[in-house]
Chain A
């Protein structure tokens, strides 16, 4: 799980340059998120972890923080 978080954090740092993201921090509340980011995040997760984000994964709670993103990835990889 920690390794997943490191890779997700690395990707997110492109968007939150001047802000050290906490694992539980709500990234939607920081005001940087737009449609481009949302789709880039999906593409990143799919490529980096070789999984497919499905329509039933499209719950914003799954993408709200590093922790929730890592949990989604972890659960899909173990499925």
Chain B
């Protein structure tokens, strides 16, 4: 066993750190305030090739291994949770097409997605359907050479700017995946604002009113929308979210350590207080533990091990719980200052909660991880 990054991974990690420090992190406060990731930042991200980080070279992607993809998402998570969410959902849509799309779909869409010419999003959740994804109410009916879609999607990350959606609907009563273009007749969207955190994720509610898409936009086959298409996308989503939590945790730790050096109470810096040291210790240990779980999941994916799926659930479960504890402690260390926009930890705290909800709630993870243990032990 060898647990270390390769020279190439270390080189790319440094590149990611520099890009995030220069372009992403300085924008995070403004992004949060304005509830949007500006176009020019998205262009800079695309120019680096990061929107193709998860795609094979043959489609213009980077063809990076999963650990490198994880490092990218860790750095983005450190800099701006909303920018990281762009990498996540764009990658989920792209990988769904890459994994289960037809050769025509792959050749047409993936080069455009790799370059950032078009942005993808993942449309599963509905006003009445969250964890119980099998019960999606949106319908798809085949009429001649077109599918006619009717229904609503809600909480769709990057839904305001996405050009295409990997969207799930019931077809012949079974969950099925489709590519839906924003320009499709019968498609409309409404921005969702005023969120607790990850405010720049440009969420939208989608409306499909007799929305007409070509028959060839079916992804996978009828009935495999959840079991194969969505699950493989969600695995990637969980993986990048878990790494994003590690990065956000690292940001909390850095701000907390810096603050405890400067802030003085009872005639001494906070860092000399042993109860503060306990919080810093728990941050260090839990961030590291989460990172190791992420590395393990990435390693299993790179080796094609079927246990990758469960390892990813475990990593996402731990990392999303971890970041809520870490961000809470970061605010605690900052005292009243931690409640102020003048300090980044205020945003970190708000950004952390959604990680326990998206791509499977903490409670769904608890059910699935326990069921897997009952089955295997």
Contact = CB atoms under 8 A, between A and B. Distances in A.
Interface of A: 11, 14-15, 17, 32, 35-36, 38-44, 46-47, 55-56, 58-60
Contacts of B308: 43
A43 B304 contact: yes
| Dominant secondary structure of chain A at its interface with chain B | helix
Interface residues of B, number: 26
Contact of A35 (B101, B227, B304, B305): B227
A6 B371 CA distance: 27
Contacts of A11: 306
B221 A39 contact: no
Contacts, number: 54
Nearest to B106: A55
Contact of A39 (B102, B232, B303): B232
User: 7 closest A-B pairs (Cβ-Cβ)?
Assistant: A47-B304, A40-B306, A43-B306, A58-B221, A38-B227, A58-B224, A55-B100
B305 A47 contact: yes
Most buried by A among B227, B231, B235, B368: B227
Nearest to B308: A43
Contacts of A40: 306-307, 309
B226 interface: yes
B305 A43 contact: yes
A56 B221 contact: yes
B192 interface: no
Interface string B341-376: 000000000000000000000000000100010011
B51 interface: no
Interface of B: 100-102, 219-221, 223-224, 226-228, 231-232, 235, 303-310, 368, 372, 375-376
Given A40-B309, A47-B304, 13 more contacts: A11-B306, A35-B226, A36-B309, A38-B231, A39-B231, A40-B306, A40-B307, A43-B305, A47-B305, A55-B219, A55-B220, A56-B221, A58-B224
Nearest to B300: A43
Given A15-B375, A39-B232, A58 B305 contact: no
A46 B304 CA distance: 8
A43 to B, nearest CB: 4
Contacts of B228: 38-39, 42, 58
Contacts of B101: 55
Contacts of B223: 60
A39 B305 CA distance: 11
B216 to A, nearest CB: 12
Contacts of A39: 227-228, 231-232, 235, 306, 309
Contacts of B221: 55-56, 58-59
Most buried by A among B231, B232, B235: B231
B104 to A, nearest CB: 11
A59 B224 CA distance: 8
A76 to B, nearest CB: 16
A15 B309 CA distance: 15
A22 B305 CA distance: 25
A47 B300 CA distance: 11
A41 B307 CA distance: 10
A58 B100 contact: yes
A41 to B, nearest CB: 8
Contact of B231 (A14, A35, A47, A56): A35
A55 B102 contact: yes
Contacts of A56: 102, 221
